[in-house]
C-alpha cells in the first residue's frame, strides 16, 4: 500500500472497515456519522500511505488515526450547537454491547456519587436522575437556587476529574462525554 497499490489498500479496507466503523460508532453513537468518519479515516490512510513504511504496528496506527480524527470531529461538533444537536438527535437506542458500557458507566458514576457528601449526592440525583430544575429542588429542600447550583457544580467537578483521571480522558473530552451521556440518559 505504501507504494500506492490499490489492491493492497482494498485488502486492508476489507480487513479493517467494520472494526473501524464499530470503534468510531462507540465514540459518536451515530451510525451515519460513524460511517462518514470511517470513510474519512481510510481516506486519511490512503493520503498518508507514504509514511506506512515506518509503521511497526499497523492496527494500532490505524485505530490511532480513527481515534484522533473522531476526537477532532467531536471537538469541532462541541463548538457547533447545530452539529451536537444532530449527533444527539440521531443517537441510536443502545444495543447489547452499548448497554453493558452504559451499565459500567452507571456503576462508575454511582461509585463516584457515593463519595460525595449526602446532601450533594441527593441534589445531584434530584436534578439529573429525576430531571428536576434547580428551583424545584431548592424549594423542596428549603435552600436557595444558588446553593443547589453550587452542589451541582461540585458534583460535576468530581465526576469530570474522575473521568479525566480514571479513564485517561482530557478534561475537555470528559466534559463533552459527561454532557452527552447526561443528555442521552435523560431521553
| 40-46 contact pairs (CB < 8 A, 24+) | 40/69, 41/65, 41/66, 41/69, 42/13, 42/17, 44/69, 45/9, 45/12, 46/9
| Same domain, residue pair 54 and 114 | no
pTM for the complete prediction?
Answer: 0.43
Crossing angle of helices 31-47 and 58-79, in 10° steps, is 130
Q: Please report the pLDDT score of residue 185 as a whole number.
A: 45
Does residue 152 have a pLDDT over 50?
Answer: yes
Q: Is residue 123 part of a domain?
A: yes
- Separation CA 37–CA 57 (nearest Å): 22
116 and 83 both lie in a single domain: no
pLDDT tens readout for residues 3-45: 767 788 889 899 999 999 999 998 888 888 889 999 999 888 8
Total domains, the chain:
2
Q: What percentage of the chain reaches a pLDDT higher than 90?
A: 17
Judge contact between 34 and 28, C-beta under 8 A.
Answer: yes
- Look at residue 1 and tell me if it is in a domain: no
Who wins on pLDDT, 28 or 141? Answer: 141
Q: Are 167 and 91 in contact (CB under 8 A)?
A: no
Whether residue 85 is found in the same domain as residue 131: no
Amino acid at each position: 500500500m505504501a507504494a500506492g497499490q490499490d489492491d493492497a489498500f482494498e485488502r486492508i479496507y476489507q480487513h479493517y472497515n467494520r472494526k473501524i466503523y464499530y470503534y468510531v460508532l462507540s465514540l459518536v453513537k451515530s451510525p451515519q456519522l460513524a460511517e462518514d468518519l470511517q470513510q474519512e479515516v481510510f481516506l486519511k490512510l490512503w493520503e498518508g500511505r507514504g509514511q506506512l513504511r515506518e509503521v511497526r504496528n499497523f492496527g494500532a496506527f490505524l485505530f490511532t488515526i480513527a481515534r484522533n480524527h473522531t476526537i477532532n470531529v467531536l471537538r469541532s461538533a462541541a463548538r457547533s450547537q447545530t452539529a451536537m444537536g444532530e449527533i444527539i438527535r440521531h443517537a441510536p437506542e443502545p444495543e447489547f454491547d452499548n448497554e453493558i458500557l452504559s451499565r459500567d458507566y452507571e456503576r462508575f458514576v454511582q461509585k463516584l456519587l457515593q463519595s460525595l457528601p449526602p446532601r450533594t449526592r441527593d441534589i445531584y440525583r434530584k436534578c439529573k436522575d429525576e430531571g428536576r430544575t434547580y428551583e424545584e429542588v431548592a424549594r423542596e429542600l428549603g435552600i436557595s437556587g444558588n446553593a443547589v447550583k453550587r452542589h451541582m457544580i461540585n458534583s460535576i467537578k468530581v465526576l469530570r476529574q474522575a473521568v479525566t483521571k480514571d479513564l485517561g480522558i482530557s478534561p475537555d473530552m470528559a466534559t463533552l462525554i459527561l454532557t452527552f451521556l447526561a443528555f442521552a440518559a435523560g431521553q
